[in-house]
Amino acid sequence: MIKTITHCAVAATLLVVTGCAGSYSTIRPEHIATYQSVSVPSAPVEFSYQYSALLTNGPNKKYVKKERKKGYQVVAVRLKNNTSTDLNFSRDLELTFADRPVVPVSSLQAADDLKQGVAIYLLYVFGIGRIGGSVDPYTGQTTGGTILPWGPVAAAGNMLGASAANKNLKMEFARYDLTNKVLHPGETVYGIMSLRESNVAPLRLTLRNQAAMTAPAAPPTPATLPQVAPATPPATSPAPAGSGR
């Protein structure tokens, strides 16, 4: 029995190989509808968060694997400044993980730690296939057909795909970086925090300066001026008696 290696089989193999690089699905924290709120609406800073942010809009398998391997927790957050002053996230706010303060890793460092490998796909360069030909059922040897060096194409495709995904992750992490982010009065801000933590725990956000914990000032009302009675004209003195004109 002669078994022929068809063009379709080779194409399917190439598709599987070139799909090894992981894509990046953006988190888009402003579109998340399931935030866990830890503050009341009247708090100086309303704070909500969501763990497993990389799984929100896509599998992101390569990056979730790196997240766990590197001991990270990627968290999407939502904040609203209810005070009457500007608040700097790094200077004026303190983030607490369980019962201890933590500082989020910078977006640049987190993106570098979580990126998927690119050079590893060079291993595909040595891949070689055969189009057509037949297999001897007794010896198992393939004869005839055309040799197809698919390796370089697969390597290039995977390297380009991995590089593009890493770039997209880095750009989104930078866009939603909260380092020194200024929250204006009444403003709602969304961010992505990368915590160097292996487990999850309740998060809290508090003001460092308690003096800033004031609600927005009410607009001043015009002062009521006292009512002043209209001035009465001076009384007219009677003319002296005997005077005539």
In this prediction, residue 38 carries a pLDDT of 85
pLDDT digits (tens, 9 = 90+) for 34-89: 999 887 777 899 999 999 999 998 899 999 999 999 999 999 999 999 999 999 99
Lowest mean pLDDT, pick from 50-54, 105-109, 148-152, 214-218: 214-218
Identify the band that residue 155 occupies on the pLDDT scale cut at 50, 70 and 90. confident
For the segment 191-197, the average pLDDT, to the nearest whole number, is: 98
In this prediction, residue 30 carries a pLDDT of 97
All structural domains of the chain with their residue ranges: 3-212
In this prediction, residue 136 carries a pLDDT of 61
Identify the band that residue 233 occupies on the pLDDT scale cut at 50, 70 and 90. low
pLDDT digits (tens, 9 = 90+) for 168-186: 999 999 999 999 999 999 9
In this prediction, residue 242 carries a pLDDT of 52
What span, in angstroms and rounded, lies between the C-alpha atoms of 47 and 77? 7
What span, in angstroms and rounded, lies between the C-alpha atoms of 98 and 122? 43
Strand residue runs (E) in the chain = 3-4, 36-37, 45-50, 73-81, 87-88, 93-97, 100-102, 129-131, 134-135, 142-143, 146-148, 182-183, 188-195, 203-207
> Is the distance from CB of 44 to CB of 50 less than 8 angstroms?
no
Using a cut of 0.75, tell me whether the model's pTM lies above it: no
pLDDT of residue 221 exceeding 80: no
pLDDT of residue 98 exceeding 60: yes
What span, in angstroms and rounded, lies between the C-alpha atoms of 245 and 241? 12
Identify the band that residue 149 occupies on the pLDDT scale cut at 50, 70 and 90. low
pLDDT of residue 152 exceeding 50: yes
pLDDT of residue 230 exceeding 70: no
